[in-house]
């Protein structure tokens, strides 16, 4: 998944979509534009259909309604976040974890509307699909893999990698949420985030 303009996540384009897939992609793209431009409350079947230039029934025919359309938005978001935090060739365990944390923040700040929708239920759904829940778990599994890699490399103290990954995720998510919502109490957000990451890693590293 590639990042488009700030706040917009574009889908991987197939070289030959059927017309039906074209319409589906156009509706998801339209939902993203509405989300980014007008906010989560504006993402309605009628607004998205108007943005895409199709009848509202097209949303129901292809996604079953608003929940199905929102599922597609969330799936794009989690896929993008997973790609962002995946290893990008780093062989040093500390660098891999640090770059994962840096790219996590970059993704969230580049796509704040998506990020809030992914984690705050900003676009209310009656029920989130199992497929989206699996994507969320797969995103978390990327971090678990980095933690396991660091433990095998002797950098992080041996522990349950899932529990350690949860500690890291809770910390970075909290920091990013505060920044997105303008609630940080320090002037330099990037410096504060880097210091938080460094403090977190010092507590998790093997004690010499």
Q: Tens digits of per-residue pLDDT, 58-111? A: 999 999 999 999 999 999 999 999 999 999 999 999 999 999 999 999 999 999
7-65 matches 69-204 in fold: no
CATH of domain 69-204: 1.10.357.10
pLDDT of residue 10: 55
pLDDT of residue 19: 64
Name the residue among 89, 113, 117, 116 with its Cα closest to residue 103.
89
60 near 91, Cβ under 8 Å? no
pLDDT of residue 124: 86
pLDDT of residue 208: 60
Domain ranges of the chain: 7-65, 69-204
Query: Two tokens at 185?
Result: 């109490």
pTM: 0.87
Name the residue among 35, 92, 37, 102 with its Cα closest to residue 69.
35
Collect all residues with Cβ–Cβ distance below 8 Å to 152 and sequence separation of at least 6.
none
Residue 151 CA: distances (Å) to CA of 63, 166, 200, 203: 43, 15, 15, 14
Fold of the domain spanning 7-65: Arc Repressor Mutant, subunit A (1.10.10)
Q: Low-confidence residues of the chain, pLDDT below 70?
A: 1-19, 208
101 near 172, Cβ under 8 Å? yes
């Amino acid at each position: 998944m590639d990042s488009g303009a700030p706040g917009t996540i574009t889908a991987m384009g197939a070289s030959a979509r059927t017309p039906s897939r074209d319409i589906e992609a156009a509706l998801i793209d339209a939902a993203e534009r509405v989300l980014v431009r007008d906010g989560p409350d504006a993402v309605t079947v009628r607004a998205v259909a108007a943005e895409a230039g199709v009848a509202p029934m097209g949303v129901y025919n292809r996604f079953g309604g608003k929940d199905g359309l929102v599922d597609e938005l969330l799936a794009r978001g989690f896929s993008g976040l997973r790609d962002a935090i995946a290893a990008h060739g780093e062989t040093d365990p500390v660098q891999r974890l640090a770059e994962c944390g840096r790219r996590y923040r970059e993704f969230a700040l580049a796509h704040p509307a998506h990020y809030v929708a992914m984690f705050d239920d900003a676009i209310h759904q009656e029920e989130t699909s199992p497929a989206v829940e699996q994507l969320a778990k797969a995103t978390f599994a990327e971090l678990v893999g980095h933690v396991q890699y660091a433990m095998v490399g002797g950098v992080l103290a041996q522990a349950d990698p899932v529990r350690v990954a949860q500690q890291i995720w809770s910390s970075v998510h909290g920091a990013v949420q505060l920044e997105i919502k303008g609630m940080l109490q320090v002037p330099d957000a990037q410096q504060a985030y880097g210091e938080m990451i460094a403090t977190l890693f010092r507590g998790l590293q093997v004690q010499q």
